[in-house]
Amino acid sequence: ASALPTSFTGVAQSSNPSTIMRYGFPSLDNIRTFDDFVLAYDKRNKNPHWVFEHLTPDKLPSSSASSANRKNSNFFEDDKIHEKHRSLLSDYKGSGFDRGHMAAAGNHRHSQQAMDQTFTLSNISPQVGEGFNRGIWNNLEKYVRSIARNNPNTYVCTGPLYLPKQESDGKMYVKYQVIGKNYVAVPTHFFKVIAIETTTGEYEILSFVLPNQPLKEDIPLKTFLTPLDAVERSSGLLIFDKLPRNKVKLINHRKP
Amino acid sequence: ASALPTSFTGVAQSSNPSTIMRYGFPSLDNIRTFDDFVLAYDKRNKNPHWVFEHLTPDKLPSSSASSANRKNSNFFEDDKIHEKHRSLLSDYKGSGFDRGHMAAAGNHRHSQQAMDQTFTLSNISPQVGEGFNRGIWNNLEKYVRSIARNNPNTYVCTGPLYLPKQESDGKMYVKYQVIGKNYVAVPTHFFKVIAIETTTGEYEILSFVLPNQPLKEDIPLKTFLTPLDAVERSSGLLIFDKLPRNKVKLINHRKP
Ligand SMILES: [Mg+2]
Ligand SMILES: [Mg+2]
């Protein structure tokens, strides 16, 4: 119980931000930095928001020459994420979805520790297993590695999307399943945007969007090329916005 | 076209974060600071993520004594938000939804400029008009003002929620409409959490969640009291986490 202050005088002052925010800042993007990738965690959807990698030929030894093996890696909960917002192994268990890597394990074979880190659940989204994570998405990851083996620098940004669809009432709706006690979102789609620095110091960008569904493995990957602008609008991100545009020679195989 | 580097020697090094992120950071929370409120903008949903206010009795003159009038205020697009992520007046037009204030206009009557700023679309979410924005949500805003007039300091955090629901297949889904060319999300619910500093320097917290639906105006507001923990988990936020817990005497009218 409290009393109305009996009087006040003078002109009301606006509050400065530090007063308004005195008892805590509800969120700042949860940036997590690992040995070989950087990610932002989406605390509402309990998914990565985006994951960034930098790949080079020397970081991509062949399977046989590599010092890491994914059989030695285990999925683990990211205890740097607040307990209220952390996805758990139990959320995925029995859900019917794979624990899908955003930074691919196979991109980080040059050290066991780097590979192990890709198994943190903050790098993981629920993916359809058969026909997606174990099919066409895996093909896309291999394609990115083949590019990265052949160019000096390859930058990869990967993340989930929650795309709207028109329903029979003519209106647009976003709809996605959530799994587990923490309601981990099952993204409707995933994007992967890569910026390739060629030996001449110029850049090529490829921007893919794939639906989180069982897909035929023989669909050509180029079918999924999607304007970068569409990825940026729907994800709420700006991707490679600091890449000098005059050095970008091709976007999705076309002159920009 | 580029060539595989002909040789490389030595051990692959992990990339440091500044190399990985060399060509841009896809997102940092979009914090917007106004004269009298602070907000974070959700660039994916084109809605506020959370909005914070600090209210005091001297900032809440009676309608008759106030120097501001909402008839002088106009909704406007927030050009500090990147064009790809900005909600537009045209997105709301003809949508059937009200442009609902998160920081209430009526909380900022002490200056016309402060009130005007609450009309930025980055402070606005699509709300059901009849029976919600113009009904029970408005009642809640009035109730908060009555509290703020009677206590030295009142902190208010308001924002949208996108809550899952079980469907007939037994699974949980998040589903919400999106409006306009920019697919502005229509939240399923809204939260309002207030921390009241009483004259004795102690605190009381009230945490409300209301569905974005037409509701009977005579439903008591206390019906919508919801554990703060549930709001934090579903919003992905931590709210008033820096408020010393030993000074919090009541949460939703109960001892914590
Ligand atoms: Mg995978
Ligand atoms: Mg309103």
CA B9 – CA A109 distance, rounded (Å): 16
CA A209 – CA B152 distance, rounded (Å): 52
On the CB side of B170, CA atoms within 13 Å amount to: 1
Scored b (16 or more CB within 10 A) or e, A116-129 reads bbbbbbbbbbbbbe
DSSP H or E run through B141:
helix B137-148
Look at residue B16 in the predicted model and tell me its pLDDT: 82
Look at residue B203 in the predicted model and tell me its pLDDT: 95
Q: Is the pLDDT of residue A2 over 50?
A: no
CA B119 – CA B141 distance, rounded (Å): 16
Q: Is the pLDDT of residue B9 over 70?
A: no
Token look-up 């009035």 returns B142
Q: Which residues contact B66 (CB under 8 A, 6 or more apart)?
A: B109, B110
Closest partner CB to B27 (pick from A13, A40, A174):
A40
What confidence tens digit (pLDDT) does each residue in B208-237 have?
A: 999 999 999 999 999 999 999 999 999 999
Higher-confidence residue of B26 and A130: namely A130
Look at residue B11 in the predicted model and tell me its pLDDT: 58
CA A55 – CA A37 distance, rounded (Å): 10
Q: Is the pLDDT of residue B7 over 50?
A: no
Q: Is the pLDDT of residue A4 over 80?
A: no
What confidence tens digit (pLDDT) does each residue in A226-235 have?
A: 999 999 999 9
Q: Is the pLDDT of residue A10 over 70?
A: no
Q: Which of chain B's residues have a Cβ under 8 Å away from the Cβ of A20?
A: 36-38, 52-54, 155
Q: Is the pLDDT of residue A43 over 50?
A: yes
Classify residue B46 as exposed, middle or buried by CB count within 10 Å of its CB (0-12, 13-18, 19+): buried
Q: Which of chain A's residues have a Cβ under 8 Å away from the Cβ of B240?
A: 23-24
Contact call for B243 and A24, based on CB within 8 A: yes
Calculate mean pLDDT across residues A138-145: 97
The average confidence (pLDDT) of chain A is 91
CA A79 – CA A228 distance, rounded (Å): 33
What amino acid occupies position B236? G
Q: Is the pLDDT of residue A7 over 60?
A: no
CA A25 – CA A18 distance, rounded (Å): 10
How many CB atoms are located within 10 Å of the residue A24 CB? 17
What confidence tens digit (pLDDT) does each residue in B152-178 have?
A: 999 999 999 999 999 999 999 999 999
CA B135 – CA B130 distance, rounded (Å): 7
The closest ligand to the CA of A137 turns out to be 1
Helical ranges in B55-122 per DSSP H: 89-92, 112-117
Q: Is the pLDDT of residue B6 over 80?
A: no
CA B42 – CA B184 distance, rounded (Å): 10
CA-derived radius of gyration, chain A: 22
The average confidence (pLDDT) of chain B is 91
What confidence tens digit (pLDDT) does each residue in A114-135 have?
A: 999 999 999 999 999 999 999 9
pTM of the model: 0.93
Interface test with A, best of B38, B156, B165, B240 (most A CBs within 10 A): B38
Q: What percent of chain B has pLDDT over 70?
A: 95
Look at residue A86 in the predicted model and tell me its pLDDT: 98
The closest ligand to the CA of B192 turns out to be 2
Q: What is the ipTM of this complex?
A: 0.92
CA A57 – CA A150 distance, rounded (Å): 7
Q: Is the pLDDT of residue B95 over 90?
A: yes
Distance of CA B172 to the CA centre of its chain: 24
Sequential DSSP letters for A101-129: ESS-GGGGTT-HHHHHHTTBGGGEEEE-I
CA A86 – CA A89 distance, rounded (Å): 10
Characterize the bridge pairing of strands B248-251 and B203-211.
Answer: parallel
Look at residue B138 in the predicted model and tell me its pLDDT: 97
Closest partner CB to B173 (pick from A17, A40, A176):
A176
Look at residue B75 in the predicted model and tell me its pLDDT: 98
Q: What SS3 state is found at B163?
A: coil
Calculate mean pLDDT across residues A82-91: 97
What confidence tens digit (pLDDT) does each residue in A152-172 have?
A: 999 999 999 999 999 999 999
Answer for the pair A91, A98: CB distance below 8 angstroms, yes or no.
no
Q: Is the pLDDT of residue B20 over 90?
A: no
Q: Which of chain A's residues have a Cβ under 8 Å away from the Cβ of B42?
A: 236
**Quick one: pLDDT band at residue A14, thresholds 50, 70, 90?**
confident
**Quick one: pLDDT band at residue B148, thresholds 50, 70, 90?**
very high
Answer for the pair A43, A82: CB distance below 8 angstroms, yes or no.
yes
DSSP H or E run through A174:
strand A172-179
Q: Which of chain A's residues have a Cβ under 8 Å away from the Cβ of B150?
A: 2-4
Q: Is the pLDDT of residue A82 over 90?
A: yes
For residue A27, the 8-state DSSP code is: -
Calculate mean pLDDT across residues A35-47: 94
Calculate mean pLDDT across residues A201-215: 97
B101 is catalytic: yes
Look at residue A12 in the predicted model and tell me its pLDDT: 67
CA B216 – CA B224 distance, rounded (Å): 13
State how far the alpha carbon of A153 is from the alpha carbons of A53, A61, A67, A148, B23, in Å.
Answer: 10, 15, 21, 7, 12
Dist. CA A47 → ligand 1 center (Å): 15
CA B205 – CA B243 distance, rounded (Å): 10
Torsion, Cα A116 A122 A124 A125, to 10 degrees, reads 180
Scored b (16 or more CB within 10 A) or e, B49-80 reads bbbbbbbbbbbbbeeeebebebeebeeebbee
Calculate mean pLDDT across residues B70-78: 95
Report the range of poorest mean pLDDT among A81-85, B14-18, B235-239.
Answer: B14-18
Task: Say whether residue A250 is in contact with chain B using an 8 A CB cutoff.
Answer: no
Answer for the pair B98, B133: CB distance below 8 angstroms, yes or no.
yes
Dist. CA B166 → ligand 1 center (Å): 28
Give strand pairing partners of A42: A47
Can you say whether residue A183 is alpha, beta or left, with left for phi > 0 and alpha for psi between -120 and 50 degrees? left
Task: Say whether residue B236 is in contact with chain A using an 8 A CB cutoff.
Answer: yes
